[in-house]
Amino acid sequence: GAGVSQTPSNKVTEKGKYVELRCDPISGHTALYWYRQSLGQGPEFLIYFQGTGAADDSGLPNDRFFAVRPEGSVSTLKIQRTERGDSAVYLCASSLGGPQMGQYFGPGTRLLVL
Amino acid sequence: RKEVEQDPGPFNVPEGATVAFNCTYSNSASQSFFWYRQDCRKEPKLLMSVYSSGNEDGRFTAQLNRASQYISLLIRDSKLSDSATYLCVVSTAGAQKLVFGQGTRLTINP
C-alpha cells in the first residue's frame, strides 16, 4: 500500500517568508509525528498528533512553528518568519499505535532558507 | 550531553566482515529501543527492535544492557548493501516520540 507522502519534496524560500509543509500519513494510522533532521545529525522530535489533537508539542523550537491536523489525517507544519537556521529536512512519520509498533517515515521535505 | 550517544564513524569494513556498533542512552526511564537504518538522502527505516533478552534477525543481532544503558548492533557477513547510516533510537515509557542518536555511518568495501 501507499506509504507516508510529503510535499513539497524541496522548498527554497527567503528569510522572513512563511512556509507550509504537508504530510499525508499511511491510511488508518492515527498517530502522526514531525521530526527535523539537520545535516550529520539524527532526526529531532517536533510534535506528535493522536487523531486531531497535538498530544505532545514539546519539540517545537519556538512559536514560529505550528502544526495542525484538522481531520485526523493530513497534517501541515507551518513555519512563520523563516530563518536560515530553519534549513533542514522535515520528516513526517505515522504509526498505528505506540513507538513499539514502529514509526514509518515519509521521504521528507528539504527546506532551504536563503 | 545528548540523550542518545553514538560514535558517528565512519566505519569502513571489507565485504564479509563482522562489524559492531554501540550506543549509550542517558534516560533510565527509556523503555523501547530500536535500530533504524538510513540510506543517503532517504528517510529512516526501522531495522529492528531491541529486546532485553537480545534478538537476532538474519545477519543482524541486537543486544540491550539496561544496567549499563547500552545498546549494540552486530552485523555478520556484511554485504555491500549494508552501507548506510545506522541510528540508535529510544523511547520513554508514556512518551510517543522517538529520540535518535546522531547515527553511525557504515561503508562496506568490495
CB B20 within 8 A of CB B70: no
Q: What per-residue confidence (pLDDT) applies to B94?
A: 74
Segment B53-69 shows an average pLDDT of: 95
Separation between Cα atoms, residue B80 and residue B17, nearest integer Å: 11
Asked if the model's pLDDT at residue B87 lies above 70, the reply is: yes
Q: Which three cell numbers stand for residue B80?
A: 555491500
Record: contact A33-B43, CB cut-off 8 A: no
Record: contact A33-B97, CB cut-off 8 A: yes
Q: What per-residue confidence (pLDDT) applies to A101?
A: 72
Record: contact A107-B43, CB cut-off 8 A: yes
CB neighbour list of residue B94: distance below 8 Å, 6 or more residues apart: none
Closest residue, chain A, to B38 (C-alpha)? A42
pLDDT tens track of chain A, all 114 residues?
589 999 999 999 999 999 999 999 999 899 999 999 999 999 999 999 999 999 899 999 999 999 999 999 999 999 999 999 999 999 999 998 776 778 999 999 999 999
Mutate to test the interface with B, among A23, A94, A105, A109 (most CBs of B within 10 A): A105
Which amino acid is present at A63? D
Q: What per-residue confidence (pLDDT) applies to B42?
A: 96
State the DSSP string of B5-25.
EE----EEEETT--EEEEEEE
Q: Which three cell numbers stand for residue B29?
A: 526511564
Segment B42-55 shows an average pLDDT of: 93
